């Protein structure tokens, strides 16, 4: 339990970092959507290890296979099963981990929860699990674009103390992909890359912030009171490995403003109801208002560092542990497609829910 | 859809701010728990309007009735239905709202979603809806305390720029209740109260931050990969009216640290595995690790201000609107029991899930 | 848990036979449907005790109140809470039941499950619980009729060995309501009424079969593989008190035919694909095929009989018990609106699901 | 949507009859259960085509691979993904089906629902989909046996008009497996085999009835009001391909008895509360009572017959079609493990739910 996400567009992921592979089943995908592996692979390539000098050198092609749900190049409306085999796993690199809990990792908590754990790499807690999410998210993004005209993007907005300035209304995917850190502000990007490289040399790691954006969301998506759009986006983001915070629109900074400073005035523009400012982040009362949806996700620094740290072993004795193996000094560049995927999954789910309940020919405004 | 929360301990809330009343059905409550209205009413009193000089003068007793699920003073294991009637509704105060969308409220988005809305004061988007959550949360808190030894608390940590300093390991409910702003740092509390009163006089409003705490959570609660404990807490908090952000443990500040600075070393203490620091916020890999769980929730300033603002009417014409009616200049003091309720609901749900799947007599550590 | 039914059109019922009342929350009802208590009450009147000489003399008006979700006579799209108070409960009639388990009732199993039970007349296992279902079902029937042109009916097809002959394509509600046993075959109805009256005089009871019908269901409703239309209908019917069996189309009799005898040939008729026979009961592969959906539900004889029976007391000693109180000698006439309600709930849920996933303007056949 | 079953022990199946393969993800399996492919394969062998002279000659080994969730021979508590490749698919055998709807198959309804279908041999509606269910069911049966002492069995009770007599309290798996028709009454079994062989020679097919049994179920499983044990069993069985009816305990025959004839008297026996008769089928008020749970499932005759039948083509013109390809003349022998699997899935789910909500050390009886 806990490995399924979504109400109408529902994904179930499976797989450990070491074992046969990882995958996902997508249930609820509409039929008659053109789909092949070539729609999925690009996002997996953006997520895969070994893609650049600032990611882990673990080198896996992460080649996806669609096993069901597609016929003659189109979705059938039946479950889409996708799988990526594990190819470059080196369990021997983790032998010390069989005996010790890595600090700020999930080793101890998985052991506590289940009484047992796969000590070969993070097992189920490995970021490798997100492959299924990214594969499913690629389908969600395609549906959002083709059926609803919605574009989902994300980029690295902050690494440690380096913050980028980006115009979220003009951002394009090619700007994000213009450099290996996935920060469209090229000046900040350079600083970020230098910082990450320096951290790697020191055996240390860094965290940062990713901003997610959805443009073209029509008014009406989101289902109060519990399934508010920001609540579902927040859950989606906080379910990503290493995420520690989520804010929508003005977020924590908005808590420092007064109502008069914060409110988004309504004005008619282009025949539509628009807001003059967008501190609401495109969501009011848990429902999209037609403005650009945006939010920020905080990621902690990677827990694996190449330095000795105090910890405890599986027999509950104090000990020390020094990180080994191949790890990212900063997860953010690879987390960008994860943020996109999760936000696309939330949005397409609410799009379908809105169609089911509220979009009737009888309805007149 | 969207009005049910939880998997095994599941609540469904109903009701608009104006109409017969508001209520909740709790499904999945264990049997044989001593329960009466006197267990519920205190938290509703902490939530109710008119409780102090810094809350709305709308005066409702918010007296709860348990309609089912309790027999001879004990829970039956069947659904617990609770209801609070609406008594001090003054729909006439909202007549202008029938024609205009209040800025940064849910008027326009509810209208967009459903093609129709109850314009009498917020309707379903009113904070009045949270009565059901607080009532259900009081039961959840009782179960956590009696069956699991877990204590759930919250307090106002920040109002606008005024930040309190509180020792979360020593905090008691009486400290929170010691003043009307529910900030246990009495010096900061005084400043906050003065600020809120000044804002009210100006017809303006303020936001802030509430910190939530759960002490005594055993290792093992939380269900990766999607139902991580912080993901479910985040969704719960972001489903509260006016919330804009959530962070657990080090949160956004943690994104500015390096791995060596951020990691929580493990050490044996008192025969248990403990962490030396608690930047993880009591959760690692989505599962509680036995340390105190803590998180922060950002609330925007109240959208209703007593000043003229630009907006649009229901015929899509530009107009202006000045707030009227009885409103809080700051929601935070009344939101404290809401944060407690939602976190208790998440925790008790995961407590039951952990019992179901993982706590077997056969299990040896 | 277990008190919520449906995916998109979702109901949660609450209440015991003795206590404040019984009720239901309907979540997922589309907005802008004309609705008032007068749409609900007629079905509750068909379900209520004391309605005729062959039902229990327990006399309750079962007057429903809509507490939320409706504004200016139309649904808001928010949860609809409905309640019926308990007025004619006589707990003293059940005092012996506090000490003894009634044979073939739920007394012993509720006690075993929860360790505790409301011994005042069935508690949650009382048929009184179905009031919430019937109220919600009245809304579902209205939506099916107004938005989808689907008509849902049920009638008493068999009482003990007396079987009626009814043309399900021509059946109208007035035929069902033409007599107190709700069997449109008036000759069989008279025999049934005589039999039920004779049974009551003897202090005994009888069971029987209700047939449910849905006409006008378009092809495409039902969601394989687990949420086949007959699977969801079957679950719905088998969740009714006293039901012991469910069959769709040819049912158990179909198991005695060969494939050649059983298959429904396709033919074009009136420009539509039709089947020549309808042994499939309007469902093929779990999906409606455009023919009339029909199914049969078996109800056991009422467990309460006015004769001494062997049983066990709450201290686990052998004893005897003689039925007392006011009971139906046959539940079937009052179960007709329950069957209609549950089938309407299943159908409207699948109607909304089909809209969400599969009904796109892009779709061409 | 519709491809997931269960609440706490939850399975999601995927796959078409022609394509990469079929499979299942099991979420919610407790950790530390010894598990390997050898626990799964025997039930798949009982389900597989080509196993005997009375099943389809389509010959597939149906060799299962566990891809995740198991480590060092034990379950991890994480999702268990299992897969079986499609090896003997012959899509060319189905070319005529691309143009015509097979009578009483799902061709027309899938086409109606999705606007598109995999015409290569049933696609998702093929019984091949049940491989995932049987694989997951083998795990459920293992847990029921090892953790709860519950034994789940099924057998062919009727083929067309031939009915077997079996003592359900003494039945063993070896009795079921003693002959190829899986009917433990050897005399009836011989008749059934002869009948099936005769039907195959005629190009016709037959249906029948399977009885499912669960022995050792403790009192207390089942979750009223909607998730009654018989309701969930009914849904499970009616979700199987070709099933048309379900009855528990006395079932439809019970509707012909009076209350005095039908009631199960309670008596103390062996220090436990027992019933003298078991017309309730081990379930009262939706909750198990400690007696043997039993139910019957009706299966229609196989729709594919080797004779010309009237039908309609995809351009909506009348035509005829003669069955081709390799098909079972009777599905019942291969459906026995499916019935066992589905009932085990329901029971283990309710076992976990009962643990979560009601089994507390505090509870005293």
DSSP string across D166-223: --TTT--HHHHTTSTT--SSHHHHHHHHHHHHHHHHHT--B-EEEEEEEESPPTT--B
Rg of chain B in Å (alpha carbons): 21
CA dihedral (B347, B349, B355, B358) positive or negative:
negative
DSSP C34: B
Higher pLDDT, C50 or A312: A312
- D79-96 average pLDDT score: 84
Beta partners for B270?
none
Task: Identify all chain A residues contacting B123, using CB atoms and an 8 Å cutoff.
Answer: none
Nearest-CA neighbor of C241 among C339, C143, C350, C119? C339
Distances (CA, A) of A109 to B224, B274, B284: 11, 11, 6
Cross-chain residue pair A2–B226, CB shorter than 8 Å: yes
Q: With an 8 Å Cβ cutoff, are B71 and C13 in contact?
A: no
Contact C25 B3 (CB under 8 A): yes
Percent of chain B predicted with pLDDT > 90:
86
* Cis ω for the linkage preceding C225 (within 30 of 0): yes
B362: pLDDT strictly greater than 70: no
Cis peptide upstream of residue B225 (ω within 30 degrees of 0):
yes
Chains touching D, CB cut-off 8 Å, 3+ pairs: A, B, C
Of A1, A77, A79, the CB nearest to D28: A1
As a three-state string, the secondary structure of chain A is CCCEECCCCEEEEEECCCCCEEEEEEECCCCCCECCHHHHHHHHHHHCCCCCCCCCCCCCCCCCEECCCEECCEECCCCEEEEEECCCCCHHHHHHHHCECCCCCCHHHHHHHHCCCCCCCCHHHCHHHHHHHHHHHHHHHHHHHHHHCCEEEEEEEEECCEECCCCCCCCCHHHHCCCCCCCCCHHHHHHHHHHHHHHHHHCCCECEEEEEEEECCCCCCCECCCECHHHHHHHHHHCCCCEEEEEECCHHHHCCCEHHHHCCCEEEECCEEEECCCCCCCEECCEECCCCEEEEEEECCCCCCCCEEEEEECCCCEEEEECCCCCCCCCHHHHHHHHHHHHHHHHHHHHHHHHHHHCCCCCCC
Residue of C225, C241, C284 with shortest CB distance to D108: C284
Chain D residue numbers touching C237 (CB-CB < 8 A): 234
| DSSP secondary structure of C303-337 | S--SSEEEEEBTTS-EEEEE--S---S--HHHHHH
Q: What is the pLDDT of residue C89?
A: 67
Q: Domain ranges in chain C?
A: 4-358
| Chain C neighbors of D317, CB-CB under 8 A | 268
Task: Report the alpha-carbon angle A235-A240-A242, nearest 5.
Answer: 120
Rounded-to-integer distance, Cα B251 and Cα B257, Å: 11
Query: Which single residue is written with the structure tokens 């189905």?
Result: D94
Residue of A25, A95, A356 best to disrupt the D interface, most CBs of D under 10 A: A25
- Model confidence at B363, pLDDT cuts 50, 70, 90, reads low
Q: Where does residue C34 fall: left (phi above 0), alpha (psi -120 to 50 degrees), or beta otherwise?
A: beta
**CA pair distance D18, A54, nearest whole angstrom:** 43
Instruction: Name residues whose C-beta falls within 8 Å of residue A281's C-beta, 6 or more positions apart in sequence.
Output: A230, A248, A249, A250, A251, A291, A293, A294, A295, B244
Mean pLDDT value across residues D200-214: 97
Supply the pLDDT for residue B98. 87
Mean pLDDT confidence for D328-355 = 97
Helix axes A130-148, A332-358, angle to 10 degrees: 50
Residue-wise pLDDT tens digits, C294-342:
999 999 999 999 999 999 999 999 999 988 777 889 999 999 999 999 9
The whole-number average pLDDT for the span D3-16 is 98
Residue A358: which of C77, C147, C363 has the nearest Cβ? C77
Res D347: pLDDT: 98
Q: In sequence order, which residues have a C-beta less than 8 Å from that of residue A244 and are 6 or more positions away?
A: A207, A298, A299, A300, B230, B247, B248, B249, B250, B251, B252, B254, B255, B281
pLDDT of residue B89: 66
CB contact under 8 A, B266 and A312: yes
Q: Quick one: pLDDT at residue D89?
A: 67
The pLDDT value given to residue D90: 72
On the question of pLDDT at D156 being above 90, the answer is: yes
Does the beta-carbon distance from C1 to D13 stay under 8 Å?
no
Residues ≥6 apart with Cβ < 8 Å to D273: C101, C108, C312, C316, D219, D266, D289, D290
Please identify which residue in the block is written with the tokens 């990882």.
A22
pLDDT digits 0-9 by tens, B281-291: 999 999 999 99
Cis amide leading into D225 (omega within 30)? yes
Task: Note whether D71 contacts A19, CB cutoff 8 Å.
Answer: yes
Contact C113 D239 (CB under 8 A): no
Contact criterion met (CB below 8 Å) for A145 and A351: no
What's the pLDDT band for D292 if we cut at 50, 70, 90? very high
Quickly state the pLDDT bin for A363 (edges 50, 70, 90).
low
Is A337 a residue whose pLDDT tops 90?
A: yes
Average pLDDT over every residue of A261-275? 97
| Residue C205 predicted with pLDDT over 80 | yes
Q: Is the pTM of this model over 0.90?
A: yes
Contact between residue D85 and residue D19 where contact means Cβ atoms under 8 Å apart = no
Q: Kindly report the average pLDDT of chain C as a whole number.
A: 95
Average pLDDT, chain A: 95
Mark yes or no for CB contact A352/C356 under 8 Å.
yes
B273 and A4: CB-CB below 8 Å? no
Closest chain C residue by Cα to residue D250: C244
Give the closest of D79, D113, D124 to A3, CB-based. D79
Residue B211 β-bridge partners: B155, B296
Q: Do A263 and B104 touch (CB under 8 A)?
A: yes
Statement: residue C67 has pLDDT above 50:
yes
CA-atom Rg of chain A in angstroms: 21
Mutating which of D22, D226, D297, D339 best tests the C interface, going by the most C Cβ atoms within 10 A? D226
DSSP letter string, B263-323:
---EEEETTEEEESS-TTTTEETTEE-SSPEEEEEEEPPPS--SSEEEEEBTTS-EEEEE-
B63: closest CA of chain A, how far (Å): 22
Q: Give the Å distances, CA to CA, from C328 to B7, B195, B288, C55, D211.
A: 37, 67, 53, 5, 32
In the numeric block, which tokens belong to residue D261? 């004839």
Is the pLDDT score of A233 beyond 60? Answer: yes
Q: How far is C48 from chain B (nearest CA, A)?
A: 20
Asked if the Cβ–Cβ distance from C362 to A77 is below 8 Å, we say no
Show the tokens assigned to B148. Answer: 């699991």
**Max CA-CA distance within chain B?**
69
Interface test with D, best of B25, B76, B356 (most D CBs within 10 A): B356
Q: Which residue, among C226, C236, C280, would best test binding to D if mutated, counting the most D CBs under 10 Å from its CB?
A: C226
Q: In the CATH scheme, what architecture does the domain B4-358 have?
A: 4-Layer Sandwich (3.60)
Return d(Cα D167, Cα D186) in angstroms, integer.
13
Q: Is the pLDDT of residue C365 over 60?
A: no
CA A277 to chain centre: 27
In this predicted model, what pLDDT tens digit does every residue of B240-264 receive, in sequence order? 999 999 999 999 999 999 999 999 9
- Residue with structure tokens 């029937």? C141
Which pLDDT score is estimated for D46?
97
pLDDT in tens, A299-313: 999 999 999 999 999
- State in Å, rounded, how far the first CA of chain B is from the last one: 42
Whether the per-residue pLDDT at A318 is higher than 70: the answer is yes
Which range is least confidently modeled, C162-166, D121-125, D252-256?
A: D121-125
String of DSSP letters for C104-138: TSSHHHHHHHHS----STTGGGSGGGHHHHHHHHH
Phi-psi map region of C282: left, alpha, beta (phi>0 left; psi -120 to 50 alpha): left
Residue C49: which of C352, C357, C360, C334 has the closest Cα?
C334
pLDDT of residue D365: 41
Residue C176's pLDDT band, with cuts at 50, 70 and 90, is: very high
Alpha-carbon gap, residue D141 to D342, rounded angstroms: 10
In this structure, of A94-98, A121-125, C231-235, the range with the lowest mean pLDDT score is A94-98
Which residue would you say has higher pLDDT here, C84 or B327? C84
Closest Cα partner for D21 from D84, D76, D88? D84
Give the mean pLDDT of A196-219. 97
Per the CB < 8 A criterion, the answer to whether D276 and D218 are in contact is no
What's the pLDDT at C256? 98
Average pLDDT over residues D49-69: 90
Average pLDDT over residues D183-209: 97
Mean pLDDT of C247-276: 98
Q: Is the predicted pLDDT of residue B365 greater than 60, yes or no?
A: no
Angle in degrees, CA A113, A118, A121, rounded to 5: 115
Give the helix/strand (H/E) hosting D136: helix D130-148
Pairing of strands D208-215, D243-248: unpaired
SS3 C101: coil
The Cα–Cα gap between B63 and D72 comes to 57
Say which residue the tokens 């609900």 belong to.
C40
Tokens of residue D287, six digits: 């909750």
Shortest CA gap B357–chain D (Å) = 5
């Amino acid at each position: 339990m806990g490995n399924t996400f979504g109400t109408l567009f529902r994904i179930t992921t499976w797989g450990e970092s070491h074992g046969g592979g990882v995958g996902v089943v997508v249930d609820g995908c509409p039929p008659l959507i053109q789909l092949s592996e070539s729609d999925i692979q690009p996002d997996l390539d953006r997520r895969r290890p070994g893609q650049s000098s600032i990611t882990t050198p673990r080198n896996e092609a992460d080649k996806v296979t669609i096993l069901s749900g597609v016929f003659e190049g189109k979705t059938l409306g039946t479950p889409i099963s996708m799988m990526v085999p594990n190819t470059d796993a080196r369990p021997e690199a983790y032998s010390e981990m069989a005996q010790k809990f890595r600090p700020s990792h999930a080793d101890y908590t998985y052991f506590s929860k289940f009484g047992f754990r796969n000590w070969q790499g993070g097992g189920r807690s490995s970021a490798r699990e997100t492959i299924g999410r990214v594969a499913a998210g690629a389908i969600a993004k395609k549906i959002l674009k083709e059926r609803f005209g919605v574009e989902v993007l994300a980029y690295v907005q902050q690494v440690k103390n380096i913050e980028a300035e980006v115009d979220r209304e003009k951002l394009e995917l090619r700007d994000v992909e213009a450099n290996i850190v996935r920060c469209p502000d090229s000046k900040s990007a350079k600083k970020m890359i230098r910082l990450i490289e320096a951290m790697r040399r020191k055996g240390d790691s860094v965290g940062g912030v990713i901003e997610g954006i959805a443009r073209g969301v029509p008014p009406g998506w989101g289902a109060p009171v519990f399934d508010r759009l920001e609540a579902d986006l927040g859950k989606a983001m906080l379910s990503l490995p290493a995420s520690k915070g989520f804010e929508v629109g003005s977020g924590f900074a908005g808590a420092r403003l007064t109502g008069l400073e914060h409110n988004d005035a309504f004005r008619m523009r282009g025949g539509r109801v628009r807001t003059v400012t967008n501190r609401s982040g495109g969501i009011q009362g848990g429902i999209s208002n037609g403005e650009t949806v945006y939010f920020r996700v905080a990621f902690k620094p990677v827990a694996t560092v190449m330095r000795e740290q105090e910890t405890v072993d599986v027999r509950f004795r104090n000990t020390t542990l020094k990180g080994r193996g191949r790890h990212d000094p900063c997860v953010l560049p690879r987390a960008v497609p994860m943020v996109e995927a999760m936000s696309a999954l939330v949005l397409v789910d609410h799009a379908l829910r809105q169609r089911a309940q509220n979009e009737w020919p009888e309805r007149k405004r």
